[in-house]
Amino acid sequence: MFRRILVPLDGSTRAERAIPVAARLAHTSGGSVILVRVVSKSSGLWPSAAPQTTLAQQVIAADRAEAEQYLSAVSTSLELEGVPTESVVRFGPTVSTLLAMDRCLVRHIQMPHAR
């Protein structure tokens, strides 16, 4: 039924509510869970800096490392025990990045989020 279930996470408790639902679906159907976090930085944060400056690269690298650490912790949670899990960190605009990933997957799990 569900082969790969995409679970976008932003670190919030609300987003993490999708994890047990995705885990149950994956366990029941023999599928897997893909935990994804999108690192997104706008060049507007550094109005006088070009997007490829050392400062921007350092901030993005730190955010990416934090996202990888977060997903690693989530993937080893009890809720996902026994469920094949993959963690993916992407960089880019959040919505279009998730939509691009979603096109490749069978089912997209997303809990209501008011951000």
Q: Which fold has domain 4-108?
A: Rossmann fold (3.40.50)
What pLDDT score was predicted for residue 56?
75
Residue that has been written with the tokens 């490392």 in this structure: 65
Structure tokens at 76: 């080893």
| Whether pLDDT at 7 is above 90 | yes
Task: Please state the rounded mean pLDDT for residues 25-42.
Answer: 89
CA geometry: angle 91, 94, 100, nearest 5 deg: 80
> Burial code of 77-86, b = ≥16 C-beta within 10 A, e = fewer?
eeebeebebe
Predicted confidence (pLDDT) per residue in 41-82, tens digit: 654 454 554 555 787 778 888 889 999 999 999 999 999 999
Mean pLDDT of 26-31: 92
Instruction: Please give the model's pTM, rounded to 2 decimal places.
Output: 0.77
Q: pLDDT at residue 30 above 60? A: yes
Task: Give how far Cα 102 sits from Cα of 7, 69, 90, 107, 110, Å.
Answer: 10, 23, 13, 8, 11
Q: State the chain's mean pLDDT as an integer.
A: 81
Q: What is the rounded average pLDDT of the residues 32-44?
A: 80
pLDDT at 26: 93
- pLDDT at residue 39 tops 80: yes
3-state secondary structure at position 115: coil
Query: How many other C-beta atoms can be found within 10 angstroms of the C-beta atom of residue 3?
Result: 12
Distance between CA 10 and CA 114 in Å, rounded? 12
pLDDT at 1: 62
